[in-house]
Structure 1
């Protein structure tokens, strides 16, 4: 199932988004609700909190006095860390229980304020961030929750910065306007991305690039998109206990070279110690949890300096996210394909003249061989192959010279 992280700073309107997603059919796991559950009267969590912070954080009826505790932990980082050490493991266990109980075809939305702070972003297929200027959030906290401006500022400053949230955001929901405008964004996201993404996961169907070939100007967002995908792959491989069989994960291809125009496709490379790993159910399940599906064995184009096709074998996966086209190449770490992908990337990064010549050639070939239909989808890469063979030779020579 699609697992979506939803977050935003305090006062951002995250609950409004979660409510609408539930109305659209999502199963919403409310981390705040679970946090209250694990500190209910007579719970082990509450007993530990009282032992650490004293009986003054209890109300007369035995429930946790959340404002009293908040006044302590939001003014003292060490106290906040101690509280998180008590509550976070319990909330995490309950979260997994609720997620496991959801229907297998469901879209599960994890509504979690501390998505960034707790390092949870990579656990999810996608992360949605409700974005509101800090000044506006402060005004809402004072108006709607009765906080003083000082309390509001302390709560905001104790959380992740906007920049930290942007780094994990696959989609930003702008809530600087009206409630209706926010809900319109949520519905569009559901229809155009979340629901199709879930359908793709269920059908093991990858997202392919659109036809014909278009060479876009370099987009500075490409490295961040790749970094989020790599973090997800790393997290899921660790969770599956497979990380010791992986040598590394790389952003490769044209989108990995600053300033290089490219197809709007993020190419990633996962270097494995043994390609047989790519055919195992555990590996494919881990990749699906990171958003990669439709795995199949392929062979890279052999070259004269390594002509045996067998050494160029790889597994190839597509991403299931309709918002981004991903190509994931799973290659033996000691094979020529993995080494050449890194050499070519690094050579282009280090040689602006070669980079510029490459994009000029790509634009020329795309104009001649755009691949307008499925029948001639391969026209562009086929026509580019002679230039690539010569360029790869130059990249290998550059790498061998230690430059």
Structure 2
């Protein structure tokens, strides 16, 4: 099962994308629909809302008067927090019930209006955000949903900012055009990324990429931050720390377009216990890689567990290493050493480019690494570097 988080500001066009994914075979779990369901007459949700906001939020027939509730709940941050504290847990419980009833190989589209505000983004292997500029969203809300301009802008202001949404977005769908353009973008996303992603997860396979050195991408730090948040959530207390490592962690350095993340664990047994959680997060186990090439005599302490992303559009390697072991320490030291030494950075880049023509890219770099390990350790000792 692959779970996709879908969100966007009010009036952005999220429903169009959700409907398109549904037509293509996705199982849509709609947060708005569930939010209405959990406050129907006779529900625990409606009872709690009345307790918090009074009888005036009810219509004469006993149903929830949504405009009346909005006028109260969106008037200040404290009341909005009260509303969210009532609704979010109930919606979450119902969402999990619906997902549990879906087929094991389903692609679940979780349509969550407040995905960013509720800090749920790291729960999903892929987050899709639909966006349109505020003025365009206001005009749509006025024309199609009968909002006043003041009400539309108040609702937009109460939601996450564009900057906050961009921080969690793996995919940013711009909806500044017409609905047909947005549908076409959603269809392309489904066929080019979501379906291959789901296929790889189902087969427990990583996305394959050909080795190539590309120019430094300023988006790498943001992509890594999302991966770190996702892996921190998936691993929970079993991860002692989660770090962006490898060449893409060195600002300005050309590298393979692959994000490397290290998850530091207590033991290899703890790493093995995380296999299912990492698969659910989109990172299947790569069983043929169980150790790093040792650069000390203590070869047993260079073992690790290796996972990699099933997402064809964001190759990511996940190295689970034991806290304090030399491979875990070196993974943290290496990007710091490269960042502090431009000459070494250029030296390593040349080695990597030469290795592209070798039968095995990783093996071709090993002679250089055997010499680099003591050099990096010496630099660390001389400069007081600590992980």
TM-score of the superposition, structure 2-length normalised? 0.96
The aligned residue for residue 234 of structure 2 is: 236
User: CA-to-partner distance for each residue in 1:184-236, whole Å, 9 max, x for gaps?
Assistant: 111111111111111111111111222xx321111011111111112111112
TM superposition shift of 1:388: 2.5
TM superposition shift of 1:85: 0.9
The aligned residue for residue 382 of structure 1 is: 363
TM superposition shift of 1:310: 1.2
Distance 1:55 1:298 in 2: 62
TM superposition shift of 1:42: 1.4
* Residue pair 1:208, 1:318 contacting (<8 A) in 2 also: no
The aligned residue for residue 112 of structure 2 is: 112
The aligned residue for residue 208 of structure 1 is: 208
2:327 pairs with one of 332, 337, 341: 337
2:294 pairs with one of 302, 305, 309: 302
TM superposition shift of 1:351: 2.6
The aligned residue for residue 354 of structure 1 is: 344
TM superposition shift of 1:172: 1.1
Distance 1:256 1:40 in 2: 50
TM-score of the superposition, structure 1-length normalised? 0.92
The aligned residue for residue 126 of structure 1 is: 126
Worse-superposed segment, 330-339 or 388-397:
388-397
Q: How does 1:53-132 map to 2 (within 5 A)?
A: 53-132=53-132
User: CA-to-partner distance for each residue in 1:93-139, whole Å, 9 max, x for gaps?
Assistant: 00100111111111000001000000110111110000111121111
The aligned residue for residue 312 of structure 1 is: 302
Distance 1:295 1:217 in 2: 27
Runs of 4+ in 1 over 3 A off after TM superposition: none
Unpaired runs of 5+ in structure 2? none
Distance 2:111 2:139 in 1: 23
Are positions 1:370 and 2:353 aligned together? no
Distance 2:290 2:42 in 1: 58
Distance 2:78 2:334 in 1: 47
User: CA-to-partner distance for each residue in 1:330-352, whole Å, 9 max, x for gaps?
Assistant: 11112100001111111122233
TM superposition shift of 1:357: 3.4
Distance 1:353 1:159 in 2: 47
Distance 2:357 2:62 in 1: 70
Unpaired runs of 5+ in structure 1? none
Distance 1:114 1:198 in 2: 24
Distance 1:370 1:350 in 2: 28
Distance 2:32 2:100 in 1: 19
Distance 1:27 1:223 in 2: 32
Q: How does 1:132-281 map to 2 (within 5 A)?
A: 132-210=132-210, 213-238=211-236, 243=237, 245-280=238-273
Worse-superposed segment, 126-135 or 389-398:
389-398
1:395 pairs with one of 371, 376, 386: 376
* Residue pair 2:232, 2:239 contacting (<8 A) in 1 also: no
* Residue pair 1:273, 1:334 contacting (<8 A) in 2 also: no
* Residue pair 2:279, 2:285 contacting (<8 A) in 1 also: no
SS of match in other structure, 1:293? coil
2:284 pairs with one of 281, 293, 318: 293
* Residue pair 1:218, 1:258 contacting (<8 A) in 2 also: yes
Q: How does 1:40-55 map to 2 (within 5 A)?
A: 40-55=40-55
Please tell me the root mean square deviation across aligned C-alpha atoms, in Å: 1.4
TM superposition shift of 1:273: 0.8
* Residue pair 2:117, 2:160 contacting (<8 A) in 1 also: yes
Distance 1:332 1:253 in 2: 17
Distance 1:223 1:291 in 2: 19
